[in-house]
């Protein structure tokens, strides 16, 4: 399937696909592109590795999905000790329909790597959660050679130390992988609460079992390792960007002084602000008026209010949604210049202090609407409530693959366009034959037909699995009544992942409403939500199996 459907590259997407592809260039750090730090660089680094490996991108993505399926299968087996469920998890992940979706699966863009990456992360977190700290294991069971019974034996110190090293490696790998995902997209901060929650659970689990103070200290350090390694990786990336571009940021569009300035634009009280227009003209005018620093750049204000997205005039063509961030980068490049990132940050940091002071003195009025984070438009309570139904629809469409899902139909372009030639070359694709038919007996049309059948199968399978999860909740409650808490903990994880997916989809609905194109919303939402919901479903099925096994064991005693 991977070698027939093919990954496809869209060189005409200047601020998206082609921009991230430019990040993969070995000479990227010498780039003078004003967008060179507009997005995070992890996906560009990934594409650079693909280029240097010499392996075609189709094979790389297949290997990515294969690794995700294998690790998830191993994690499910570690959780539930059921080989059939483990085998099902392997197949369920490997053939997940998202791998064949047009924008979310086969497009050479960062969203296509989110789902398999998240499956790997969730599997690592499951292993991290289930693994026992070797420092707390003093004995192990060993079969008595003279009988069929088991006896307790002291655990050798060397075995416990080796176990500590393995746990440390798992924790470090989890943190490094989390950092990679965090740097793939600018909005990945939503994953941080999940990581902290899992680490806190692990700390509580381990400290309850530890008796001596030194054991508690070492266990706490081991438990915190994913957070520590994540922090170290992200700070290393920021340090590299400071060396190469002059600013210690992952990007300059959603971090740093420019992002803070945009947040202040959203924060200004304006009757013209809507879920479509986040930074109306009067908000921009007020912010520039209270900042002596920005008043020195009237041409910047002129550019923001009359060029590009605001052309010919912002009153006639208000800037929609977060496009103000791209408008601001263009305006800064046309005036101050984006080549010196340090100077840009210094100018806007000074302006932000002036704007902050204006809010404090009442010269600027802060909106009374709800603004959960600085990067989202404030909304009234009624506007927030209006997002609940679209979010619920998006939730069900993610599970049942109804609206929004499109089996891949795009092909790589045969074009002498420089962006196209560079991109295909980086992906190790033959520029003269970018869509080869590897198997004579299996055409592109056959592969699309097969993918459509897989989608139909998954719709049915997911409905059955949802019913099984509901049964798992019932049997878990019965198990709790009978004094067994573990099944409820598993079904609790399912509920947490399901709720987490809903919150994420709610944020996506909040962010993308101004686009008024459902497929774009689905594109943003499908990958992360699929990983969360599919993992939750697998844990829910395991909870049912565990409950039934426990009830059967108790009944036969």
Whether the Cβ atoms of residue 265 and residue 324 lie closer than 8 Å to each other: yes
Dihedral-angle region of residue 420 (phi above 0 means left; psi in -120 to 50 means alpha; beta otherwise): alpha
Report helix, strand or coil for 450. helix
Whether residues 362 and 426 share a domain: the answer is no
Looking only at Cα atoms, what is the longest distance across the chain?
Answer: 91
Whole-number Å distance between alpha carbons of 316 and 331? 19
CA angle at 90 for the pair 89 and 91, rounded to the nearest 5° = 95
Residue ending a domain, among 374, 408, 426, is 374
Whether residues 153 and 280 share a domain: the answer is no
Whole-number Å distance between alpha carbons of 498 and 353? 41
116-129 burial: b if 16+ Cβ within 10 Å, else e: bbbbbbbbbbbbbb
How does residue 14 score in pLDDT terms, banded at 50, 70 and 90?
A: confident
Bridge partners of 154?
Answer: 139
**Residue 485 maps to a domain:** yes
CA angle at 459 for the pair 454 and 461, rounded to the nearest 5° = 90
Predicted local distance difference test score (pLDDT) of residue 67? 98
Whole-number Å distance between alpha carbons of 333 and 335? 5
Predicted local distance difference test score (pLDDT) of residue 117? 97
Predicted local distance difference test score (pLDDT) of residue 388? 97
Residue 410 CB contacts under 8 Å (≥ 6 apart), including other chains: 8, 10, 102, 106, 107
Q: What average pLDDT does the segment 463-483 reach? A: 83
Whole-number Å distance between alpha carbons of 443 and 441? 7
Whether the Cβ atoms of residue 342 and residue 280 lie closer than 8 Å to each other: no
Whether residues 129 and 206 share a domain: the answer is yes
Residue ending a domain, among 374, 401, 426, is 374
Residue ending a domain, among 374, 401, 430, is 374
How does residue 107 score in pLDDT terms, banded at 50, 70 and 90?
A: very high
Residue 453 CB contacts under 8 Å (≥ 6 apart), including other chains: none
Whole-number Å distance between alpha carbons of 496 and 348? 40
**Residue 472 maps to a domain:** yes
Count of domains observed in the chain: 2
Whether residues 221 and 124 share a domain: the answer is yes
**Residue 381 maps to a domain:** no
Report helix, strand or coil for 122. helix
Whether the Cβ atoms of residue 276 and residue 514 lie closer than 8 Å to each other: yes
Residue 492 CB contacts under 8 Å (≥ 6 apart), including other chains: none
Give the tens place of pLDDT for each residue, 247-273: 999 999 999 999 999 999 999 999 999
**Residue 295 maps to a domain:** yes
| Nearest one of 271, 286, 198, 295 to 497, comparing CA atoms | 198
Whether residues 192 and 238 share a domain: the answer is yes
Q: What average pLDDT does the segment 273-283 reach? A: 97
Helix (H) or strand (E) holding 548: helix 518-556
Whole-number Å distance between alpha carbons of 95 and 291? 55
Whole-number Å distance between alpha carbons of 111 and 114? 5
Whether residues 440 and 473 share a domain: the answer is yes
Instruction: Tell me the pLDDT of the chain averaged across its residues.
Output: 90
Whether residues 347 and 398 share a domain: the answer is no
Give the tens place of pLDDT for each residue, 517-545: 999 999 999 999 999 999 999 999 988 88
**Residue 385 maps to a domain:** no
Give the tens place of pLDDT for each residue, 362-420: 999 999 999 999 999 999 999 999 999 999 999 999 999 988 899 999 999 998 889 99
**Residue 388 maps to a domain:** no
DSSP 172-229: HHHHHHHHHHHHHSTTGGGGHHHHHHHHHHHHHHHHHH--SHHHHHHHHHHHHHHHHH
Whether residues 80 and 191 share a domain: the answer is yes
Give the tens place of pLDDT for each residue, 124-177: 999 999 887 655 544 444 444 554 554 455 566 666 677 778 888 999 999 999
Predicted local distance difference test score (pLDDT) of residue 77? 95
Whether the Cβ atoms of residue 39 and residue 253 lie closer than 8 Å to each other: yes
Whether residues 545 and 413 share a domain: the answer is yes
**Residue 387 maps to a domain:** no
Whether residues 97 and 209 share a domain: the answer is yes
How far is CA 543 from its chain centroid? Answer: 26
Q: What average pLDDT does the segment 53-74 reach? A: 97
Q: What average pLDDT does the segment 481-508 reach? A: 86
Residue 539 CB contacts under 8 Å (≥ 6 apart), including other chains: 76, 79, 126, 490, 491, 493, 494, 497
* Mutual angle of helices 486-512 and 388-400, in 10-degree steps: 120
Report helix, strand or coil for 10. coil
Whether the Cβ atoms of residue 44 and residue 28 lie closer than 8 Å to each other: yes
Whole-number Å distance between alpha carbons of 263 and 257? 10
CA distances from 45 to 20, 27, 104, 323, 514 (A): 9, 12, 19, 25, 31
Give the tens place of pLDDT for each residue, 113-122: 999 999 999 9
Whether residues 105 and 242 share a domain: the answer is yes
Give the tens place of pLDDT for each residue, 193-247: 999 999 998 888 877 766 666 667 777 788 899 999 999 999 999 999 999 999 9
| Nearest one of 357, 354, 16, 359 to 185, comparing CA atoms | 16
Report helix, strand or coil for 333. helix
Whether residues 231 and 262 share a domain: the answer is no
Whole-number Å distance between alpha carbons of 448 and 408? 7
Whole-number Å distance between alpha carbons of 343 and 340? 6
**Residue 6 maps to a domain:** yes
Q: Which domain holds residue 107?
A: 2-247+393-556
């Amino acid at each position: 399937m991977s070698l027939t459907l093919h990954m496809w590259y869209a060189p005409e997407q200047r601020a998206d696909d082609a921009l991230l592809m430019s990040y993969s260039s070995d000479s990227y750090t010498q780039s003078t592109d004003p967008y060179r730090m507009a997005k995070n660089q992890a996906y560009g680094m990934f594409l650079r590795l693909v280029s240097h490996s010499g392996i075609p991108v189709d094979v790389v993505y297949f290997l990515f999905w294969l690794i995700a399926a294998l690790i998830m299968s191993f994690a499910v087996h570690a959780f539930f000790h059921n080989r059939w469920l483990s085998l099902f998890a392997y197949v369920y992940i490997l053939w997940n329909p998202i791998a064949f979706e047009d924008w979310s699966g086969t497009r050479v863009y960062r969203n296509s790597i989110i789902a398999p990456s998240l499956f790997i992360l969730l599997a690592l977190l499951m292993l991290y959660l289930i693994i026992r700290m070797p420092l707390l294991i003093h004995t192990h069971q060993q079969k008595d050679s003279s009988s069929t019974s088991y006896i307790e034996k002291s655990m050798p110190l060397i075995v416990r130390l080796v176990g500590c090293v393995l746990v440390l490696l798992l924790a470090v790998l989890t943190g490094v992988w989390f950092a990679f995902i965090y740097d793939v997209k600018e909005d990945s901060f939503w994953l941080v609460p999940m990581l902290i929650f899992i680490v806190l659970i692990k700390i509580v689990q381990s400290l309850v079992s530890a008796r001596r103070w030194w054991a508690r200290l070492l266990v706490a350090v081991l438990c915190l390792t994913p957070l520590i390694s994540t922090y170290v990786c992200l700070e290393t990336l920021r340090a590299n960007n400071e060396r190469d571009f002059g600013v210690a940021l992952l990007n300059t569009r959603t971090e740093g002084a420019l992002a803070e300035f945009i947040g202040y634009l959203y924060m200004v009280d304006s009757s013209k602000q809507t879920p479509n227009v986040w930074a109306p003209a009067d908000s921009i005018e007020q912010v520039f008026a209270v900042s002596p620093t920005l008043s020195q750049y009237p041409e910047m204000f002129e550019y923001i209010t009359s060029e590009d997205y605001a052309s010919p005039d912002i009153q006639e063509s208000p800037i929609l949604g977060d496009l103000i961030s791209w408008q601001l980068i263009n305006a800064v490049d046309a005036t101050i210049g984006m080549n010196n990132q340090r100077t840009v940050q210094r100018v806007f940091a000074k302006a932000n202090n002036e704007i902050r002071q204006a809010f404090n003195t009442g010269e600027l009025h802060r909106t009374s609407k709800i603004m959960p984070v600085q990067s989202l438009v404030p909304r009234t309570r009624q506007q927030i409530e209006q997002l609940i139904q679209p979010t619920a629809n998006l939730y069900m469409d993610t599970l049942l693959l109804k609206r929004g899902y499109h089996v891949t139909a795009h092909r790589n372009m045969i074009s002498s366009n420089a962006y196209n030639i560079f991109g295909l070359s980086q992906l190790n694709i033959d520029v003269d034959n970018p869509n080869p038919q590897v198997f004579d007996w299996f055409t592109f049309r056959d592969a699309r037909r097969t993918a459509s059948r897989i989608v139909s199968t998954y719709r049915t399978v997911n409905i059955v699995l949802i019913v099984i999860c509901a049964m798992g909740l019932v049997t878990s409650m019965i198990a709790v009544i009978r004094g067994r808490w573990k099944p409820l903990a598993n079904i609790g994880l399912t509920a947490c992942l399901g709720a987490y997916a809903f919150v994420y989809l709610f944020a996506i609905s909040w962010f993308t409403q101004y686009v008024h194109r459902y497929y774009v919303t689905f594109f943003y939402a499908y990958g992360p939500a699929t990983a969360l919901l599919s993992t939750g479903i697998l844990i829910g099925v395991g909870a049912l199996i565990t409950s039934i096994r426990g009830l059967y064991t108790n009944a036969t005693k």
